[in-house]
Amino acid sequence: DTAVSQTPKYLVTQMGNDKSIKCEQNLGHDTMYWYKQDSKKFLKIMFSYNNKELIINETVPNRFSPKSPDKAHLNLHINSLELGDSAVYFCASSQFSGGARETQYFGPGTRLLVL
């Protein structure tokens, strides 16, 4: 039943490690997103993919690399983790229709802590 799911829910790791977060949506949407929520709860778009193609890449360090194997999945790989990467990462999806992208639906978030 879960519309947008993310794994893992919690991720604790050491500085310098490489980690991945996975996202899957079963809503049949064609656009997926990654957002970062910092410790003050501020949310900011990182990436957006439409039909497996990157359409937004905000000023995110190139240590972050999104990969979309198909329309239902958008994974986030992070190299050489830094303390400042500690945050909650949210995946979202929406459908492009009639010239506009509809409401975005969010996953439960992945809480990343870098030690």
Site residues for another protein per CB under 8 A: 31, 33, 35, 40-45, 48, 55-56, 58, 90, 92, 94, 96, 99-109
Nearest partner of 74 among 50, 58, 56, judged by Cα:
50
Contact present, 109 and 6 (Cβ < 8 Å): yes
Local structure of 83: helix, strand or coil: helix
Shortest distance, CB of residue 13 to another protein, whole angstroms?
20
**How far apart are alpha carbons 85 and 87 in whole angstroms?**
6
CB of 60 to another protein, least distance (A): 12
Q: Which is nearer to another protein, 62 or 103 (CB)?
A: 103
Nearer to another protein, 44 or 63 (CB): 44
